Structure 1
Amino acid sequence: MTPAPTTSGPTGSRPADERSRALLRSARDVADDLAADAIVRDQAGRPPFDEAARLREAGLPAALTPPGPGRGVDWATGCAVVREIAAADSSVGDMLARHYVHTWSGRFYAGHEHASALEEESVREQWLWSGTVGTPAPHTVSERPDLTLRPHATGYLLDGRRSVDTAVSTADQIVVDAVCAASGDVLVVRIPPGAQGVSVEPAHDRLGQRVAGAGEVLVNRVAIAPGHVLGRRPHDEESTAPFTALAEPALRLALCHVGLGIAEGALTEARDLSRGGRAYRLPGEDPDLFLTYGELASAAQTATAVVDRATEVMAQALATGAQLDAEVPAGVAALVATAETVMSRAALHITARVLELADAPGLDRFWRNARVLTAHRPVAHRLRSIGEHYLNGSHHPAAAAFP
């Protein structure tokens, strides 16, 4: 499992260190609980109502918010919690990772006072967040928006539908971007799912991440009050504030920790099967088995080192806040792309190889989960963005989705 990180940034005082250690202990307790019935829940593939309740009971949604006075958690600790949970159940880790990043939406898109009030309310109410926000994509033809805002006497009316990767039925706040029909601006708004006119269609029979709660949100003339508008999403990279540009790589990096959790969980379960005599080859009887585990453990540790380096740099950038230098996000995005590339290859390799070591019910879920987590982020695209940054020192992060 994940070791406790060193707390850094504005909350790096001794009380914050103590809160981080207590939070990681709580995460390990939840992880142990989730691991006990992970196979049964994966096979059932139901919406994660029970899983969300377990997270709330442990206080994790309230704890995983941006750091502030007496609340929230620093980036490194938040990612460590995500990885701990993902090693036991990557669907729940996925849900928690996206929750954590979306709780930063106020800071990415809104003003300081709005963001602070929103975070305090999220902690108080134990909100679970989800959503999907696009990022500026230059030199592309505009497509018809799937979500549209129309001015109304009390704010806006929101119409359309949007695919969401986690907690579509269980989230308390869903963050999306929508085009204003009157101005053409892209606004980032939050939808309380209980609002009139909101319905959901959960995804069924997914290959992996079956308990993450993926699906579609359908909205029909949903009232969006001014207080539910977080801010304007820039049309292009040139007009994107440096701190806002961290939104998309932050989500991708949080999901890297989910991928690491999958790899660690698969390797740990295979090791336990080998030690317990339930594998194809037993320790001490086949020296090639030591070679295989050495290879897989090295792959996991290499990926962890690269992801942890990107996590450290992201933590520094997030701690800088609005004073972030304009050139920093591109460097951060390049490191995140590197972390994604290494993590994806390691997770897919490890989860496939462990199937050759043991034949046990549910062991295949690790490969299925890794495949679904990494499938829509092609390695070639990431490598091109890394190469562009290395050769040209591009000041703009590569545009991609913020799912």
Structure 2
Amino acid sequence: MATELDDGTLDRPVLGDSTRVRPEQIADDAQALQAAQRLAEVFAAEAAARDRERRLPWAELDAFVASGLWGITVPRQYGGAGVGSRTLAEVTAIIAAADGSLGQIPQNHFYALEVLRVGGRPDQQRFFYERVLAGDRFGNALAEIGHKDFKRRTRFTRSATSWQIDGRKFYCTGALFAHWIPTLAIGEEEGRDVTYLVFVPRNAPGVEVIDDWDGFGQRVTGSGSVQFSQVRVEPEWIVPFQASFERPTTIGPFAQIIHAAIDLGQARGALQAALQFVRERSRPWIDAKVEHASQDPLTITQFGDLAVRLSAAEALVRRAGRFVDAAQAEPTERSVAQASIAVAEARALTTTVSLDAGSRLFELAGTAATLDDLSLDRFWRNARTHTLHDPVRWKYHAVGNFYLNDKLPPRHGAL
């Protein structure tokens, strides 16, 4: 278990595999926000070094789980805090402002919990909720590269005695650190292919997690590959997935509001870094005829513009959270569509502001901010990498089509 040292950093034991940390019990939304603020202060201290050195955040993740934050969406009837989507988004943004990679790693953990809430049987919910409250963390193995043919995608098949999974996945954020890897797999049901989410134990025979993520951003999210070779799974670990999109559910907007929160947090982090650098290190432009860069009227104006748009993005994320909560409470075709549109509006702006904040940091701070040892470029690199999860241009299309033609958006995890 990671422990906090006197200087506020975390010790980092060498771990051969993911460990289990018995979490604190978070009771409500206020306590969740307080825990996130405490952790963010510790996580921020070495975020630049972790990114620069590609240092995997094992100790930080142990502390993250130990705080109880990974269990905050477990419903109250199962012993969790059952926090609202607005609170989950703010917790995510707080952590992402400190470290964009640590903000993203739990995204699919919470996504899997939502799939379980929507489509899991009570016995499955009880089992996995208990595991999460005991300290288990979920990764993901959802995406594949190049396999348009369903027959070649990751599949699970049934023999006379068991079920097994075979296939390969990529962009498997968090799988490296996980105890369970929720995996999209295709099985045959009544002569047709159907997609399920299968919770696969990280240490099951035939599972190989490969740390081959080399993207220029989100460097330590563990977003590499997972290979499944005749991996035996139990039927109790198989949760309907495709069926959950054949009726109105909040899986899509729930997933997307966490993505919006990650971008929001990275924009906050970039803005704070820019403010600090300009106050403490930047030199004023000669034509401004001021003593300090923070007195430059054009610089002041640029910061004002960025702050206004960041505030607007924060407001849209909070608003989207209310729509998602309402749709979770009463999922109808209209309420889920409204939640998806509200989240798409938020994502459109958080995408823009996170990229702009990461770029303007250098414009406003000056050449000295580009020195490699500062790693200030991580804010833009992280934002650019994360905002590519799904194209923002389609968010605008969905929003416009909804208001202009009353066209309800498609139901899937990317909108």
TM-score, normalization by structure 1: 0.85
Is 1:83 aligned to residue 93 of structure 2?
A: yes
Q: How does 1:122-133 map to 2 (within 5 A)?
A: 122-124=132-134, 126-133=135-142
Unaligned runs of 5+ in 2: 1-24, 285-291
- 2: distance between equivalents of 1:71 and 1:234? 26
Shift in CA distance, 115/373, structure 1 to aligned 2, threshold 3 Å: same
How do residues 1-400 of structure 1 correspond to structure 2 at under 5 angstroms?
Answer: 19-74=28-83, 75-124=85-134, 126-133=135-142, 143-181=150-188, 183=191, 184-234=193-243, 240-243=246-249, 246-275=250-279, 277-281=280-284, 282-283=292-293, 285-320=295-330, 324-358=331-365, 359-360=368-369, 361-397=374-410, 399=412
Shifted more, 265-274 versus 282-291: the winner is: 282-291
Asked whether the equivalents of residues 138 and 175 of structure 2 are also in contact (C-alpha less than 8 Å), the reply is no
Distance 1:395 1:284 in 2: 47
Render the CA deviation track for 1:220-278: whole Å, top value 9, x for unaligned: 0111101111125239x6xx1212xx212211111100100000011111112222x21
* 8 Å contact kept, 2:140–2:183: yes
User: What is the CA distance between 1:66 and its match in structure 2?
Assistant: 4.2
Displacement of 1:17 in angstroms is 9.9
Report if the CA contact (8 A) 2:74-2:113 is conserved.
yes
Change (3 A) 1:289 1:109: same
Number of residue pairs aligned between Structure 1 and Structure 2: 371
**1:364 Cα offset (Å):** 0.9
1:166·1:215 contact (CA, 8 Å) conserved in 2? Answer: yes
- Distance across 2 between alignment mates of 1:398 and 1:325: 12
1:196-237 deviations in Å (ceiling 9; x for gaps): 1000112343210011110111000111101111125239x6
User: Which deviates further from its counterpart, 78-87 or 149-158?
Assistant: 149-158
Counterpart secondary structure, 1:185: strand
Contact preservation (8 Å) 1:173, 1:192: yes
Give, in angstroms, the shift of residue 160 of structure 1.
0.2
| SS state at 2:28 partner | helix
8 Å CA contact 2:165, 2:232 repeated in 1: yes
Q: Distance in 2 between matches of 1:177 and 1:96?
A: 17
1:81: how far off?
A: 1.2
Superposition CA RMSD, Å: 2.3
Q: Report the secondary structure of 1:129's partner residue.
A: coil
Return the structure number with greater relative CO, CA threshold 8 A, min gap 6: 1
Residues 259-298 of structure 1, C-alpha deviations (whole Å, 9 max, x = no match): 00000011111112222x2124335531222111101101
* C-alpha contact 1:98 1:254 (8 A) present in aligned 2: no
Contact 2:207-2:231 within 8 A present in 1 as well: yes
Which amino acid is the alignment partner of residue 242 of structure 1?
Answer: P
- List alignment gaps of at least 5 residues for structure 1: 1-15, 135-140
After superposition, the Cα gap between the structure-2 partners of 1:73 and 1:234, relative to the gap in structure 1 and judged at 3 Å, is: closer
| Paired letter, 1:131 | N
SS in 2 for 1:46: coil
* Alpha carbons of structure 1 residues 318 and 65: separation in structure 2 relative to 1, 3 Å: same
